[in-house]
Each structure stands twice: as structure tokens, then as C-alpha cells.
Structure 1
Amino acid sequence: MGENQLGEFLRARRAGVRPDDVGMASYGVRRVAGLRREEVAVLAGVNVDYYTRLEQGRERHPSPPVVDALARALRLDTDARTHLHRLAGTAPSRPPAATPGRVDPALRVLLDGYPGTPALVIGPSLDILAANPLARAVYSPFDPMDNLARMVFLAPAGRPFHPRWDQTAEAVVGHLRQAYGIDPGNPELRGLVAELSARSADFAWLWETHTVRGKTLEHKYFHHPDVGALTLTYHAFDIRAAPGQQLIIYHAEPGGPDAEALTLLGSVHATADRA
């Protein structure tokens, strides 16, 4: 991780935008992937030299309107635009630091109040801080079931468990990039990124793309050794009493095969626990 996070982000996102994506004609021999600096400057309405200084780290404090213009030029979505503002120091003040590793006892009781659906609490570094029995059953192929990023990139079960591994891996890295933008000094997060970068070439490559993505509402595809294919939808909720923590609740289409598989999975693991 370099110290010029703003410049690295701009370069990475510039490389991901083609001239025809933004209605610009491509001319001459292109020595770079994506847009040239001159093209970004034109699209954002800024001086080329000024934009070059931003990428090189010689200018680190663009104004909010300039950041918005760059976000439009680079076709950033909401998460990436917010991340760019944080890197530029133009985002709203940082929220209070997350409560490290501690889950409110009342929230643990709430988790167990969802016996028919997997529910868990994660921290900003994707540590699994608490999980109800059905969530532990879903993630039972992993030992330990400790951190979603390590489970995807380092655990032997990671690729077999995630049939759409590439999509899952990109989402995980995008979440960590967003968390890093919010709290770049978080030693736990920095340690996790350093560990994964050293042990996984896939992670190291994805990290350098500077993709930013928060958890929202989408489908998750699993292949569980006990019940086979399993497709679940999940919702992510920020926990206001512990900034940085999120409550994740999975659910299956009622009455469908995934709901039946989830019920069977819960039954199998409840029986095993009693035994």
C-alpha cells in the first residue's frame, strides 16, 4: 500500500475507462490502458498539469467540485465516488471508530431470534464477530470460520464453496477498499491487506484495481457439501451503536428448493451438535 492513495486510485480507475465508454474518439497509438490523462482532464474540465499533479501525489487537496467532476469523468458509482472524496479529504467527518471485536449481548440474542435464516455480524475487516446456528451451518466447510476475506482467498474450501468465485472475490476486495478509505489507519485492516497481498496473487491483483464496493442487497451463490447448490439473498444493515459493524441476514425464496435445502442443512447440523 503506497502513500499516494489518491493518485493510485485515479490511475487505476482511469485505466478501466475506454474512450468509447465516454463518447470520445480514439486516436493515435495508445500506450496506456483506458483513458489518457489529457482525456480525463478534458472530461473533468481541469488543467492537464493539475490532473497530472494529482496522480503523481504533488497535489493532494482538490476541491469538492473538482472531486465530483473527476468522479463523473471516470464514471464512478456511488461507493467509488464516496471513496474518492475520502481519499481527497473532502468527505464528511469520519464516524467514531468501530467497537473492536465486541458484539452487544442484546444483538447476540437478536441473532438467535432468527432460527430459520442465517444471520451474522461482521467487522470492517470482514471478521465474523458473531453468528447464529444456521449461519455456522452454512459456513461449516470452513475451519476456522473467522474472516470472510481469508475464507475466500486462503482457505482450501474457498473456491469449491463459491461457484462464482471471481465475483465473490471482487466483492470482498471492494468492501475492504471501502473500509480502508473510511479508516486507513486501522492496524487490523492494514495487517489483513498485507497478509492477503503476500499470500494470494489474486488478492494482490484485485487490490491494485482500486474497486470500491459496499455491501448492499444481492444474491450469494454457494455449493455446500451437505446440500449442494444454494442461492440466498442477503441484506446488510449498519449497526448504529457500533460504527463499522454490520448485521448480515441471508434468506431463501419461501417454499423454493433453496429454502428446503436451508432447512435440511439446519436440521443436519442441529442433529450433529446434539450428538
Structure 2
Amino acid sequence: MASAHSSLSHDGRRTELREFLRSRRARVSPGDVQMPDSGRRRTPGLRREEVAVLAGVGVSWYTWLEQGRAIKVSGQVLDAIARVLLLGSAERAHLYRLAGLNPPPAPSVPSVEPSPEVRRLLEAWSPRPGYVRDRHWNFTAVNDAARVVFGYHENDHNCLVSFFTNARQRALHQHWAEAAPDVTAAFRADAARYPDDPEFGRIAADLAAVSPEFAELWARHDVAEHTSAVKAIDHPDAGTMIFDATLLPLPEHPGHHLVLHNPRPGTDTQQRMESLLRQHSLVVPHPG
């Protein structure tokens, strides 16, 4: 049964590869790749032999690839084909997967400020807490609700560092000790996405030098990935509040995430949060 299922999956991948390459080839005109147009064509886009020549591969080999035959492929050749077919980063990664290869690591990109649209979304999320962090877990934007509820201040620049070194953060988190291993493992998983980026190692080394707890957890080499979490807060002015946190990737900025927190249903978190924000003169909209 297992081998039959594997064979079906393999055949499905080959079929998808064939249709994907044909559709990408059809949308590229000779002029798009600085080739002279040789007149009327029976079908739109580049011919197979033109893709092969531009990519520097044999015409027969490219034909076999597009037919989904079992041939050996390399990342270098797929990159050449991706350039000819003008594939975007997501399409390039898709091509790798359909050809049976792991996509190359995401390129390291600098931390960027959130777009005006993301900033408006973050502010519109108030009175619920939210923030944006880059691939190194540096804060790039924090709304006022997050500052009040989670105690973030101007000197909190990095989510990981604050979690381990900010005494207020530790006191606020109801289950800090239980959460610490997962937080560390998630940072290591993110670091693995950018193996050539030394900043992850620098952050980890600097933090390990000042936090024995982080040093011990980092040495375990545990890895975990998650896009959601439950955050329980014991706030000195509002009592216990429980939030569902959701991490939303920002595709235009690889590695950046919008992190939004919602009061957990079935708790009185919403009421406690709104009362706390009023104490800090933050506007809380009336229901309805």
C-alpha cells in the first residue's frame, strides 16, 4: 500500500511539473528575454528549444524535464530555467519541489520598517496587542496596547532578548519556565532558515553570555516551529489575562511576521484588558 501511494504521489508531482513548466513558458514572449521574434507562432510564449538554449541545457533534456520523465536535475540547472522563465521566488521554490529538490535557503534580507498598510493594520488591531518582528526577532513596530499589556518599553528591541533578560517580562508571563524551551527552539528553527546569516549566532552568543537559562536551553539544540501560541499574563494592575497569539508572515519581507493577540474566549481577558487600557488613557471602542 505504501509503495502504491508513493507512486501515485510521484506521478502527481510529475504531472504538476509538466503543467507548471508549460504554463510558465507560455507566458514569456521572445521579447521578454531579448530574443528576436521569428514571426507568427502556433502557440503563445517561448518554444521548448528556446528555453533550452537560453538556459544552457540540451533540448532533449529540457523536453524530458517538461514531460516529467525521471531524469537527474540540479539546483544550478533549475536556477537557469527559472531565470529564463522569469519565475518569482515562490515559483522558483515551487519548481524545486516539483523536481524533487529542497528549495534553496531564503536569501538574507535586511530588516525593514513596516509598510504604511501594515502600520495601519497594527493600529486598527488596538485595543488588542500586536507587533511586527523581523527575522532576527527584532521589534520593528509595537502598538500601544502591546506596550501596556506586555510591558514593552523603548529599550525592548528584540523579542527573544526581552523574554530572557527583562525582569518585568518574566514576572508577567504566568508560565515563563514552561514557555522558555519552546521560545528557544523556535528561534533555532528560524536560524536554520538562514544558515549563512551570522546575526542569529551573534544574538544567541550574546544572550547566552548574560542568561544562564538561555545558554542551557540553546545547548540542547531543540527545534520547534509554531504559528500560534497561548500567552498567559499576570499583570500587576489587571490580573490574569490569556491571549491567543497568531504569527502572520509578511510575504513582501521574508522572515518578518505580524504577531497579533486576541483575548481568549471563555475568559474575562477582554474586560480586564479594556479596563487596563482605560487606566492608561487609551481609547477603547464601545461594542457595536
Q: Same fold (TM over 0.5)?
A: yes
What is the distance in 1 between the residues matched to 2:265 and 2:281? 21
- Whose RCO is larger (CA < 8 A, sep 6+)? 1
1:105-154, CA deviations, whole angstroms, 9 ceiling, x for partnerless residues? 22111111112311111112221111122112122265523212111211
- Aligned equivalent of 1:162: 173
**Aligned-partner Cα distance in 2 for 1:139–1:109:** 20
1:172 paired residue number: 183
Q: Give the corresponding residue for 1:134.
A: 145
The amino acid that maps onto 1:198 is: A
Match of 1:266 among 269, 273, 277: 277
Spell out, residue by residue over 1:142-173, the C-alpha distance to the aligned partner (whole angstroms, 9 max, x if none).
55232121112112223211121122211221
Give, in whole Å, the separation in 1 of the partners of 2:193 and 2:152: 32
State the TM-score, normalized to the length of structure 1: 0.61
Show the counterpart of 1:93.
Answer: 104
Following the alignment from structure 2 to structure 1, what is the Cα–Cα distance between the partners of residues 273 and 225? Answer: 26
Q: Is 1:144 matched up with 2:188?
A: no
Q: Report what 1:237 is aligned to.
A: 248
Q: Name the larger-Rg structure.
A: 2
- Runs of 4+ with deviation above 3 angstroms: 253-256
1:213–1:271: structure 2 CA closer, same or farther, 3 Å change rule? same
List gaps (5 residues or longer) in structure 1: 1-89
RMSD, aligned α-carbons: 2.1
Q: Are 2:212 and 1:201 aligned?
A: yes
2:113 aligned residue: 102
**Count of residues in correspondence between the two structures:** 183
Tell me whether 95-104 or 118-127 shows the greater mean CA deviation: 95-104
Residue 212 of structure 1 is matched in structure 2 by 223
Alignment of 1:13-162 (within 5 A): 91-140=102-151, 142=153, 144-162=155-173
Aligned residue identity for 1:164: H
Residues 230 and 244 in structure 2, CA contact (< 8 A), matched pair in contact too = yes
1:56 is aligned to: none
Q: TM-score, normalised to structure 2's length?
A: 0.59
Distance (Å, rounded) in 2 between the aligned partners of 1:238 and 1:131: 16
Q: What is the alpha-carbon distance in structure 1 between the residues aligned to residue 102 and residue 177 of structure 2?
A: 30
Q: Which whole-Å deviations, capped at 9, do the CAs of 1:79-111 have from their partners, x for residues lacking one?
A: xxxxxxxxxxx7421223344142222211111
245 and 138 in structure 1: CA distance in 2 versus 1, 3 angstrom threshold: same
Going from structure 1 to structure 2, the CA distance change for 1:95 and 1:185 (only over 3 Å counts) comes to: closer
- Aligned-pair distance for 1:256? 3.6
Q: Does the Cα contact within 8 Å between 1:184 and 1:190 map onto a contact in 2?
A: no
Distance 1:225 1:95, change over 3 A: same
The 2-side partners of 1:109 and 1:271 are apart by 17
Q: 1:184 aligns with which of 159, 173, 195?
A: 195
Residue 91 and residue 167 in structure 1: after superposition, are their counterparts in 2 closer, same or farther (change >3 A)? farther
Q: Distance in 1 between matches of 2:215 and 2:228?
A: 26
Q: What's the CA shift for 1:226? A: 1.8
For 1:253, which of 264, 267, 272 is the aligned residue? 264
Inter-CA distance 215–98: structure 2 relative to 1 (3 Å threshold): farther
Show structure 2 runs of 5+ residues with no match.
1-100, 284-288
Q: Are the equivalent residues in 2 in contact too, given 1:98–1:245 (CA < 8 A)?
A: no
Write the letter of the residue equivalent to 1:235.
Answer: T
| Pair 213,142 (structure 1): closer, same or farther in 2 beyond 3 Å | farther
- Report the secondary structure of 1:270's partner residue: coil
